[in-house]
Amino acid sequence: MDRAAVAFEDVTCTFAGRDGARPYTAVKGVTLSIGEGEFVSIVGPTGCGKSTLLNVAAGLLRPSSGGVRIQGERLTGINRRAGYMFQAEALMPWRSALGNVAAGLEFRGADRREARRRGEEWLERVGLSGFGDRYPHQLSGGMRKRVSLAQMLILEPPILLMDEPFSALDIQTRQLMENELLELWSANRKSVIFITHDLEEAISLSDRVVVLSAGPATHPIGEFAIDLPRPRDVAEIRLTPQFIALHDRIWRSMKEEVLKGYAQTRNRTAA
């Protein structure tokens, strides 16, 4: 397991309660490893700690105990080998779409003109050529997500951390983007941790689906290898009997947790 791209080792994250609130243990004792070039989806009920885990893998959040190894090395500080696509809006509102896409290259000291040129290329790949000079507020939510995707991929990081990247898109655009992502991924096998609340999306994209329990003290409760043939078309694969069988199996193991998670979130807000 030494060469795992990302290995969580007994990660526990406890958030200090503010203003007299009790401390909250979001994830507890998570041990999970993502192989080199593997596409792993993590599903789990809302509020269970998926984003928290991804922040740990990115090096943005230090776990209360345990740690992360990146390609065998212990992670301290920011994970320089990872690209992160955030769940929330993360574009710099004062930069145009092109400026946002090219930002990473500029930060890394690339020549400005060259960075812009590659930015244009990437905008085209995510279907936004001609929108380069728009500011984020002039783009639709889905377009902004695509800019974020290009912004991450232009740096060609070996590890991709994606937090519900396509949940804001309509189903057609979403499937287009999913296929595009699969194509990019299979071209030069990056390791992907893909978070979603959509089980179908998880199955159709991944090599492996990890199901998390409801919070607090979230931990993986099931791992399912997805042995569907590749290359896949996300729209077509959903119709195959294998897919449906897998979906059924995973969903049955999840259902209880989803209901539990929902009830807990409700109780916490009610209390």
Partner 1 sequence: MKRSTLRIWQALILVLIFVAWQALTQPGLLPPVVWDNPDRAAFFFGEPVKMFRVIWTWFADGTIYKHLWVTLEETVLAFVIGSLLGLAFGLWLGLSSTASTLLDPYITAMNAMPRVVLAPIFMVWFGLGIWSKVALGVTLVFFIVFFNVYQGVKEVSPVVLNNAVMLGASRRQLLRHVYLPSATSWVFSSLHTSVGMAFVGAVVGEYLGSAKGVGYLIQQAEGAFDINSVFAGILVLTAFALVLDYAVTHTERRLLRWRPAQSETEQL
Ligand X SMILES: Nc1ncnc2c1ncn2[C@@H]1O[C@H](COP(=O)(O)OP(=O)(O)OP(=O)(O)O)[C@@H](O)[C@H]1O
- Contact footprint for Mg ion (CB under 5 A): 51, 87
**Per rule CB under 6 A, is residue 196 in the interface with ligand X?**
no
Name the binder of 151 from Mg ion, partner 1, ligand X, none, CB < 5-8 A by kind. Answer: partner 1
Pick the closer one to ligand X by CB: 23 or 130. Answer: 23
State the residues that interact with partner 1 by CB under 8 A.
Answer: 58, 60, 78-80, 82-84, 86, 88-96, 103-104, 107-108, 135-138, 151, 155
User: Please, are residues 150 and 123 in contact by the beta-carbon 8 Å criterion?
Assistant: yes
Q: Do 8 and 31 meet the contact criterion of CB atoms below 8 Å apart?
A: yes
Q: Which residue, among 54, 32, 27, has the nearest Cα to 160 in the 3D structure?
A: 54
Instruction: Output 52 or 148, the one with its CB closest to ligand X.
Output: 52
Contacts of 48 (CB under 8 A, 6+ apart): 26, 212, 213, 214, 215, 218, 257, 261
- Between vectors from CA 253 to CA 171 and to CA 26, what angle results, nearest 5°? 85
As measured in angstroms, the least distance from the Cβ of 62 to ligand X is: 12
The residue behind tokens 């955030």 is 86
Whichever of 26 and 102 has its CB closer to Mg ion, that residue is 26
Six token digits for residue 215: 């919070």
Choice from 12, 33, 64, 87 touching ligand X (CB under 6 A)? 87
Q: Which does 88 bind (CB under 5 to 8 A by kind): partner 1, Mg ion, ligand X, none?
A: partner 1
